[in-house]
Structure 1
């Protein structure tokens, strides 16, 4: 307990260095009301003849009393919407519940090609196509086409989902804020290999090979590779790894290619004109370390990334201590949740 308090204090000091004051999220006396949505979308910006031929699944959860602000949550590659509310783990690992308890609605989606969303030909899937899909989902949530109507939308991404969020918000400029997690503008060449080596054809996986409609291009992670790929060198917890393995999902190679070209090389993120919060694991093996991004503190992260964002982004940064890439699974994930809800309170509002 004392160790947790010390880490919470350190995180508060870290956020103060970037101009944000930590305040506890609002408590909720009742559970959020949740419903499943199937949103008509398209992989192209302007669908042919106006037809949206794909479906994006999302789990919409609205806190008691409602909310004018929605956080749209986009998971990373080989993850589904379960990343934001992992089944079988304590509520402290639920990003969704923390945001709902702070008074905000959430829509956790499955990227097209994963989860309960459409499974088109894998060759059609790119990070840009996913950005078009998310754009259509944002339009639907702003107009109330598939459920409640929201006045403000914060786009939240993790890893590949963050690349999608960057491309979407930089292209369409239709959101009020962006939360980027598990993604910077420098890949860690010395430590990224376990993550890349973990990928294998989904057709060879006992679980994913049972998904109907997959072609040979879809990938997932090899069995037993989740810790090395996404959590190392954070503490190993068997319950956490089992939950991650049980909910692993799919990715298409094309999503990685233009995520790197557009998200990392250009950097396209300088077109974002909404406030941005960037959160990373201190020991993220995909993006942090020597020859990559300095994620040792919020301030070093800000210094490493500030040139990749325009002044209009008012870039804020946060670091989850002692964990790897998939920070919502960290034992100290509540630090991340508090950082996001506090930033949303200050920059966006209810």
Structure 2
């Protein structure tokens, strides 16, 4: 079966599955969730903890867990703030663990110079190990799907390529073609030191290495014209920070050292991007994400060792899929792809 036909079937299944998420008011709850804290080590010597929300289908113990990894200036609530990804995943038969990466949300807040892309990937490996050994929810998972967004996708890709310990890799809001002009505009026009921000500055302390978005800039960067006013307002009200050190390492992982990341990934790969993503899919050297074929042409060569490669362009979505009107379609696309992979 050719790749275009395969992607078409995946998207058709996703469209058919969207209604599955909706349940009658008197139905059993779709998910059962608990808050968890996992001990980890940063840079081999620094003891820390990662906080997450662990959800399973109510009354069921699935065989596959999705580890959900947010992007820059978000935390674990990226996955349930506007659209409830864990609930949709539970309805599709999957457990989820949405974590706050180090330096974000309720996980350990270390000095920003210690928050690097490499460290985040190493911590993800420790979380995956915990999932496989029953340290989360008392169930040892033999199938782990690593699902990232944006900066989180870059770090999940590095984790999968370095440790080869995941069964499925899902990348959203990311390509290898982050154009230099878009990168420069992002840092000069849309980001500034978090300590200067009235909203997140008090929680950033005196750490000058933490950045956040300027007020009112998230629609342009992340949400796109199709996002509702309420979703954009929620995005602004819940914004977080970004370590400049982490961002620098992630850019290098895309542009300088791809062989240590995507080239080494052996798991099946799905890239699902918003068709209107202007952060990773635009600019002088960018490649459009308007169709699955366009994403495949731009990205397939970066995954020569992957068991399989599938791309999906999500219509009506920009960079942050879960805040878009197409959030349900994006989630169903991912879950349907996992099902086709045997998850």
Work out whether the TM-score is over 0.5. yes
Matched, 1:259 2:254: no
Moved more, 134-143 or 311-320: 311-320
| Consecutive unaligned residues in structure 2, runs of 5 or more | none
- Give the paired residue count: 327
Decide whether aligned partners of structure 1 residues 193 and 330 sit closer, same or farther in structure 2, where only a CA change above 3 A counts.
farther
Moved more, 154-163 or 136-145: 136-145
1:241-272 CA distances to partner (integer Å, 9 max, x unpaired)?
Answer: 11101111111011111111123333220100
> How far apart are the structure 2 equivalents of 1:193 and 1:313?
35
Structure 1 residues 81-230: aligned runs within 5 Å? 81-86=76-81, 89=82, 93-148=83-138, 149-196=140-187, 197-211=189-203, 215-230=207-222
- Corresponding residue number in structure 1 for 2:37: 38
Decide whether aligned partners of structure 1 residues 190 and 212 sit closer, same or farther in structure 2, where only a CA change above 3 A counts.
closer
Deviation, structure 1 residue 100: 1.4
Please say if residues 275 and 314 of structure 1, whose CA atoms lie closer than 8 Å, have aligned partners that are also in contact: yes
Please say if residues 14 and 298 of structure 1, whose CA atoms lie closer than 8 Å, have aligned partners that are also in contact: no
Moved more, 146-155 or 300-309: 146-155
* TM-score normalized with structure 2 length: 0.89
Please say if residues 56 and 109 of structure 1, whose CA atoms lie closer than 8 Å, have aligned partners that are also in contact: yes
SS at match of 1:119: coil
> How far apart are the structure 1 equivalents of 2:95 and 2:136?
15
- Corresponding residue number in structure 1 for 2:304: 310
Decide whether aligned partners of structure 1 residues 332 and 13 sit closer, same or farther in structure 2, where only a CA change above 3 A counts.
farther
1:46-68 CA distances to partner (integer Å, 9 max, x unpaired)?
Answer: x34xxx60111100011121212
- Corresponding residue number in structure 2 for 1:299: 293
> How far apart are the structure 2 equivalents of 1:207 and 1:294?
34
1:19-56 CA distances to partner (integer Å, 9 max, x unpaired)?
Answer: 98545265574231101111111223xx34xxx60111
Q: 2:57 aligns with which of 58, 63, 72?
A: 63
- Corresponding residue number in structure 2 for 1:283: 276
1:269-301 CA distances to partner (integer Å, 9 max, x unpaired)?
Answer: 010010110011112111113521221200111
Moved more, 204-213 or 105-114: 204-213
RMSD: 2.2
Decide whether aligned partners of structure 1 residues 296 and 127 sit closer, same or farther in structure 2, where only a CA change above 3 A counts.
same
Please say if residues 10 and 337 of structure 2, whose CA atoms lie closer than 8 Å, have aligned partners that are also in contact: no
1:105-139 CA distances to partner (integer Å, 9 max, x unpaired)?
Answer: 00011110010011111001111100011111111
Structure 1 residues 232-243: aligned runs within 5 Å? 232=224, 234-243=225-234
> How far apart are the structure 1 equivalents of 2:72 and 2:337?
25
